[in-house]
Amino acid sequence: MTILVVDDDEALRSVLVEALRKRGHDVDGARGDQDLPRSFPACRYDVVLLDLKLTGADGLEILSRIRESCPETLVIIMTAFGGAEAAMEAMRSGAHDFLEKPFSLTILELRLERALMEVSLRRANGLLRGQLDISSEELVGRDSRMLTLRENLIRFSRMDSPVLFVGESGTGKKTAARSLTAYSKRCEAPFAMIDCSGFSESELRERLFGDEKRGAPGGFSAQRGLFEISDGGTVFLDEVDAISQEIQRQLLVLIEKGEITRAGGDHPVRVNVRILAATRKELGALVEKGVFMKELFFRLNPLLLTFPPLRQRVPDLGILSETILARLGSEMHRRFTLEPGVLPLFEKHSWPGNLRELKNVLEGMAVHSVDGLMGVEDLPREFHKVDNKGVPSTTVPQRSAKEGGLRQELLDEERRKIGLILERVRGNRTQAAKILGMKRSSLNYRLRKLGLECVAPKKIDGADGQKEGRRK
């Protein structure tokens, strides 16, 4: 990946450039606006790490120039403590992501991995399609099976044969089907989905193949089915294991001959569609039981995408959560962060609903979050341990010394900065919150979290202290 680091802090810029080069990236550094005309002649960078607060330059203006001249380049904003509002403004202006200083190299790697996935898929197709979320939450991850899945997704998008998607409910099969289609030669043609388990045999046949009715002599009416409506495009058959053997036979004819026969009809209709099929079950076992046609299975199975359940992707929970929270933050114009105790509980959970359940949990936590910090207390009841007396407990598993040390450093730095600001404004929390760019309620929450409640006693709390005095 080619990366440009734009920051007027020479020490930080040098550290980032050197660290990213050691990780195999092609990296350049720039001091600020004056370097960009030289550093940016041919849109050669995949990612730009851009500091918002540059000496003598407006980071948002630079972002606008990059987006206008090089729309394919992804921009990750770097902002100092308390700059979340400016960062969200940058996100609305087209930034791909943002990082709040100080950040660890581990966090930076997670953000770059998400960006790399988008860059890779864009290159695979050679076209930029803004309407598609390339870094789809369901496709993110370092698990070897997910890497294989993404590679096959790209390869299969160039073909026109049927594809079989196998995995539990909520593992991302539908999203992958959309992504595959968006990068296929049928991307501009119709794309339809249908749940085959939601209809009776006759209803499903009519919906898929259409219907012909003949009444009085000369009377005739025809209703097109999903395959005809989607002619030239793609049809995704979810729960394909639920279809009857009669419909299986008709589907096999469609795949092999490109023909369908409407219900009640007696002549074939030519149709050109690509079939994508999904199942939660093992079709091979259904073939052995005589429930699923062997010939149809052989036509679907060669191009196979297997989706591992979330409980088998424990190392991916961190980057998946980061990705989902980044999307929620963009939608809600806020920044969300998981506190250290949450991920260990995620790692112990069985996730029966897979990625769909993870999204629901994080969305619920985000909605109820006061200032974007989401802790163990914000988790649904099923995540809390229950002792032998039936009392919920939020005891958090211990993190590694390295992770704990990094977290403690960040908390200490935040505690120091907030303490200095409160001291400067003589404990006036309203003024302190304004300087920090947050609501007073959010500041109070952080003070409680950081153990700084005693920093601003009522007698020196500025206007707040005067109100207290009047009440006395």
The tokens for 311 are: 């409980």
User: How distant is the alpha carbon of residue 93 from its chain centre?
Assistant: 19
Is pLDDT of 364 > 80?
Answer: yes
| Cα separation, 270 vs 257, whole angstroms | 9
pLDDT-derived band at 60, boundaries 50, 70, 90: confident
Position with higher pLDDT, 382 vs 249: 249
Residue 355's pLDDT is what? 93
pLDDT mean over 442-465: 57
State what percent of residues in the chain have pLDDT above 70. 78
Any idea which fold 334-398 has? Helicase, Ruva Protein; domain 3 (1.10.8)
Position with higher pLDDT, 426 vs 460: 426
Residues 137-308, CATH architecture: 3-Layer(aba) Sandwich (3.40)
Residue 454's pLDDT is what? 56
Residue 447's pLDDT is what? 79
Position with higher pLDDT, 181 vs 141: 181
- Among 189-203, 339-353, 426-440, 443-457, whose mean pLDDT is lowest? 443-457
Residue 132's pLDDT is what? 39
| Cα separation, 285 vs 166, whole angstroms | 13
User: How distant is the alpha carbon of residue 356 from its chain centre?
Assistant: 11
**Which residues in 98-128 are b (16+ Cβ under 10 Å) and which e?**
bbbeeeeeeebebbbbbbbbbbbbbebbeee
Is pLDDT of 187 > 90?
Answer: no
Is pLDDT of 248 > 80?
Answer: yes
- 338 DSSP β-pair partners: 374
The tokens for 118 are: 């988008």
Question: Is there a contact between 128 and 122 (Cβ–Cβ < 8 Å)?
Answer: yes
Collect contacts of 266-269 with beta carbons under 8 A, ≥24 apart: 269/210, 269/228
Average pLDDT of the residues of the chain: 79
- 165 DSSP β-pair partners: 278, 305
The tokens for 354 are: 């897979």
Is pLDDT of 410 > 50?
Answer: yes
CATH of domain 1-130: 3.40.50.2300
pLDDT-derived band at 287, boundaries 50, 70, 90: very high
User: Taking Cα atoms as reference points, which of 136, 129, 457 lies closest to residue 320?
Assistant: 136
Position with higher pLDDT, 373 vs 371: 373
Residue 413's pLDDT is what? 67
Is pLDDT of 130 > 80?
Answer: no
- The DSSP symbol for 379 reads S
Q: What is the residue extent of each domain of the chain?
A: 1-130, 137-308, 334-398, 399-471
- Bond from prior residue into 102 cis (ω within 30 degrees of 0): yes
pLDDT-derived band at 159, boundaries 50, 70, 90: very high
pLDDT mean over 187-216: 85
pLDDT mean over 321-342: 85
User: Taking Cα atoms as reference points, which of 32, 69, 49 lies closest to residue 115?
Assistant: 49
User: Taking Cα atoms as reference points, which of 114, 93, 115, 99 lies closest to residue 16?
Assistant: 99
Question: Is there a contact between 455 and 427 (Cβ–Cβ < 8 Å)?
Answer: yes
Any idea which fold 399-471 has? Arc Repressor Mutant, subunit A (1.10.10)
Collect contacts of 102-111 with beta carbons under 8 A, ≥24 apart: 102/409, 102/410, 102/413, 103/78, 104/406, 105/19, 106/406, 108/16, 109/23, 110/318, 110/319, 110/322, 111/76, 111/322
Dump the DSSP string for 20-76: HHHTT-EEEEE-SGGGHHHH-SS---SEEEEESEETTEEHHHHHHHHHHH-TTSEEE
Radius of gyration of the chain, Cα coordinates, nearest whole angstrom: 28
End-to-end CA distance of the chain, in Å? 64
pLDDT-derived band at 272, boundaries 50, 70, 90: very high
Same CATH topology for 1-130 and 137-308? yes
Question: Is 0.95 surpassed by the pTM of this model?
Answer: no
**Which residues in 34-67 are b (16+ Cβ under 10 Å) and which e?**
eebeebbeeeebbbbbbbbbbeebebbebbeebe
Position with higher pLDDT, 32 vs 297: 297
Unique residue bearing structure tokens 């036509």: 299
Is pLDDT of 252 > 50?
Answer: yes
Collect contacts of 249-253 with beta carbons under 8 A, ≥24 apart: 249/293, 250/205, 250/208, 250/209, 251/208, 251/275, 251/296, 252/293, 252/295, 252/296, 252/299
- Among 25-29, 53-57, 325-329, whose mean pLDDT is lowest? 53-57
Supply φ then ψ for residue 332, to 5 degrees: -100, 0
Is pLDDT of 219 > 60?
Answer: no
The most confident of the ranges 179-188, 271-280, 462-471 is 271-280
User: Taking Cα atoms as reference points, which of 327, 294, 334 lies closest to residue 438?
Assistant: 334
